[in-house]
Amino acid sequence: MINKILIANRGEIAARVIRTCKKLGIETVAVYSEADQKAPFVSMADESFLLGPPRVQESYLDTEKIMPIAKKSGADAIHPGYGFLSENGSFAEMCEQAGIRFIGPSADVMEKMGSKIAAREAMEKAGVPVVPGTDGAVASSDEAIEIARDIGYPIMLKASAGGGGIGMQVVNTDQELIKAFESNSKRARTFFGDGAMFMEKKLDHARHIEIQLLADSHGNAIHLFERECSIQRRNQKVVEEAPSSFISDETRQRMGETAVKAAKALGYVSAGTIEFLVDEQENFYFLEMNTRIQVEHPVTEEITGLDIVEEQIRIAEGKELSIRQSDVKIDGHAIEVRIYAEDPETFFPSPGHISAFELPDGEHIRNEAAVTDGYDVTPYYDPMIGKLIVKGADRSEAISLLKEALLTYKVEGIKTNIPMLKTVADHEQFKNGNTTTAFVETYYLPMIQTN
């Protein structure tokens, strides 16, 4: 049994984990930076400890500070949330050596999936289709040009390490590739300590659809159906929904079975997500695997009735999954939008003082907030300040509820992307389900440029 969990994270995901722990009667420990000392999650926890200055290297990424706090507090498990240390195999090993359970997969699986190149190779061995591209790292921009001409432009240049769209860029010409290769490799080295780059053919009119997985240490693995995450800006998701309105029941079943097969081939244990690109003919190709809980997990919880954090904890305790595949059913339709402190036209971050903050309320409306009224949004972290999740009997009802909720979502003192989300929710192409990865560039940006 797990009795006390340290949450090695911040913001809404820290608060989210704390809520489930309270439900289960598990004590919680929060760690926070100087910039987050007034954040809601800090006071929600049973205990809280200051890590250090705002910079992540001196706080949320500093394992030499986190581990002693875990031992001092008597925590017998650590939940890493998403981002930060959540996919750091060395940290998982550190926890194991200290006799503290890491709520996530094993370090070796994490390391393998943390490299997009190694993950691609592993998926090919498991029989999962992959996008046409390079088999390994590309050594130079000259080699990249040769490969790009063979694959055919446009191509997607990607950093092997990391995520969140960092080191990723669409390239259409040789000249663009020369410039992009060096800049993205340098950026990846800065953020992840690894500048290795690879390339894949860019699929036109593709959709970003992912499968949520749960797997225990007893050999059981199931999927919780799919999430459609195609509406993105800067290669980062903004709107997510479940189930997808695009794929057929047959494709849904094949994607789920393929993801489960891959998880079992990896010996995967915990919650995880396999992301796919799906073309217009519903052919799907492996994109990446996230060996952690996802930002968008609430939409899956809403349509399945499951608590994914609770399942993570059960699995970490060595228990079998509480359900079997035949028990998982889709109930209704859920949509999540990410609320960012950013300019809705340029997408640049907009830190500052929140002078007023009010959340929408009502049946089938769920809020995951990282801030409160009077909170100061700093420039040190990702600008997401909350998530709004709605559920309807069907997609049309969910969209109507989303539009109503956005009208009453109040954030004053800083710019947010709420105007953008209102525009998307009201767009005919969104209502019709035409939500490809090019949605923002094709429909949203032209609208604001002409206004």
pLDDT digits (tens, 9 = 90+) for 352-377: 999 999 999 999 999 999 999 999 99
Residue 396 has pLDDT above 70, yes or no: yes
pLDDT at site 89 = 94
Is pTM, for the whole model, over 0.85? yes
Averaged pLDDT, 113-137: 89
Q: Which residue has the tokens 């899956």?
A: 300
Averaged pLDDT, 332-357: 97
Burial of 276 (0-12, 13-18, 19+ CB in 10 A): buried
Residue 191 has pLDDT above 90, yes or no: no
Residue 349 corresponds to which tokens in the numbers above? 């971050």
The CATH class that applies to domain 132-201 reads alpha beta
Residue 382 CA to residue 293 CA, distance in Å, equals 17
Q: What is 4-103's CATH number, 3.40.1390.10, 3.40.50.20, 3.40.50.2020, 2.30.250.10?
A: 3.40.50.20
CATH code of the domain made up of 207-450: 3.30.470.20
Residue 387 has pLDDT above 90, yes or no: yes
Mean pLDDT for all residues in the chain: 95
Averaged pLDDT, 248-276: 97
Residue 190 has pLDDT above 90, yes or no: no
Q: Percentage of residues in the chain with pLDDT exceeding 70?
A: 99
Residue 163 has pLDDT above 80, yes or no: no
Higher pLDDT, 314 or 120: 314
Q: Which residue has the tokens 């949203």?
A: 444
Residue 109 has pLDDT above 90, yes or no: yes
Q: Percentage of residues in the chain with pLDDT exceeding 90?
A: 87
Residue 447 has pLDDT above 80, yes or no: yes
pLDDT in tens, 299-315: 999 999 999 999 999 99
Averaged pLDDT, 191-195: 84
- Please name which of 417, 339, 407, 415 lies closest in space to residue 371, comparing C-alpha atoms: 339
pLDDT in tens, 5-56: 999 999 999 999 999 999 999 999 999 999 999 999 999 999 999 999 999 9
Residue 445 CA to residue 345 CA, distance in Å, equals 8
Residue 102 has pLDDT above 70, yes or no: yes
Q: Which residue has the tokens 């593709």?
A: 206
Instruction: Please say if 16 is a catalytic residue.
Output: no
Domain ranges of the chain: 4-103, 132-201, 207-450
Range name among 2-11, 31-40, 275-284, 442-451 with the lowest pLDDT average: 442-451
Burial of 353 (0-12, 13-18, 19+ CB in 10 A): exposed
Catalytic residue among 292, 314, 366, 395: 292
pLDDT band at 189 (very low <50, low <70, confident <90, very high): confident
* Orientation of helix 395-407 relative to helix 418-426, angle to 10°: 150
pLDDT in tens, 207-238: 999 999 999 999 999 999 999 999 999 889 99
pLDDT at site 451 = 62
Residue 158 CA to residue 196 CA, distance in Å, equals 9
Residue 192, φ and ψ in degrees, nearest 5: -120, -5
